[in-house]
Amino acid sequence: MGRDFGSRRPFLSLVLIALLSVPFAGCAAVKTAMIVIKGTDIKAEYDGLEQMRVAVVCRPRNSFEYHTASAARSLARDVARLLRANVKKIDVVSQREVDKWTDEHVWDEYGELGEALNADMVVGIDLDQFSLNQGTTLLQGQCQLQVAVYDVIDGGTIVYEPNLSNLSYPKNAIPATDLGEAEFRQKFVRVIAGHIARHFYDHDAYESFAEDSTVLH
């Protein structure tokens, strides 16, 4: 790996010099050159899920609203899928097992759920608000949520809380005629899942920048 980078250093240096020498190249060109040289991967904010048995559960604030309850389950499933694919040696509890337990039990604490499912950790997501429409003719996803990681082994204590702000997708609303609501909902849930899951594994720092460009693709 190091030898390969060393062999490319002269070429990459020439790329940087060339971009810097172009009149009016500006910050965008310099930024592009630095990405080519340094790469864009950033480290996980929290890597404590590695080698752990982890349950992912999303609890809607208003479980009586069908679309919110349905979105909560889809969100938990997508976060679990991303963790399984990207976190080293993680053992993710199947969502079918999580859903079955939550359907059959009245519960309050994430630690309680984790203990029942023999999990070491629980990624608990409280979905406070979820909507897809801006008026009657526009689509724009709006979401408010809170996420915390609970250490079941340590009695369900919170060991990590990512700093997640309210999420909107896309930044500018699109006409409802451009995309079916069901397809848009699926895309929005996947965007939210990505924002949550990327706290737990190394990833491309610019991955979220391209989200808006995929809304109609």
Give the angle 20-22-27 at the CA atoms, nearest 5°: 55
Q: Which domains does the chain have, with CATH numbers?
A: 2-39 (no CATH), 53-214 (3.30.160)
Rounded CA gap, 141 and 121, in Å?
A: 29
Residue 6: the pLDDT is: 47
Residue 94 has pLDDT above 60, yes or no: yes
Rounded CA gap, 137 and 159, in Å?
A: 42
Residue 23 has pLDDT above 80, yes or no: no
Residue 12 has pLDDT above 70, yes or no: no
Residue 165 has pLDDT above 90, yes or no: no
3-state secondary structure of 109: coil
**Average pLDDT, integer, range 113-133:** 96
Residue 17: the pLDDT is: 47
Closest by CA position to 78, among listed 58, 101, 100, 102: 58
Residue 31 has pLDDT above 60, yes or no: no
Residue 208 has pLDDT above 90, yes or no: no
Which structure tokens are listed for 167?
A: 């999420």
Residue 44: the pLDDT is: 94
Residue 210 has pLDDT above 60, yes or no: no
pLDDT band at 117 (very low <50, low <70, confident <90, very high): very high
Residue 79 has pLDDT above 80, yes or no: yes
Q: What percent of the chain has pLDDT over 90?
A: 62
Rounded CA gap, 125 and 143, in Å?
A: 12
| Mean of all residue pLDDT scores within the chain | 83
Peptide bond into 170 cis (omega under 30): yes
Residue 96: the pLDDT is: 97
Which structure tokens are listed for 136?
A: 């009657």
Q: What percent of the chain has pLDDT over 70?
A: 75
pLDDT band at 170 (very low <50, low <70, confident <90, very high): very high
Whether 178 contacts 60, CB under 8 Å: no
Q: Which of 13-22, 40-49, 61-70, 124-133 has the lowest mean pLDDT?
A: 13-22
Better-scored residue on pLDDT, 41 or 120: 120
Which structure tokens are listed for 24?
A: 């009016």
pLDDT band at 112 (very low <50, low <70, confident <90, very high): very high
> How distant, in Å, are the alpha carbons of 35, 68, 91 from that of 175?
35, 22, 41
Region at 175 (left for phi over 0; alpha for psi -120 to 50; beta for the rest): beta
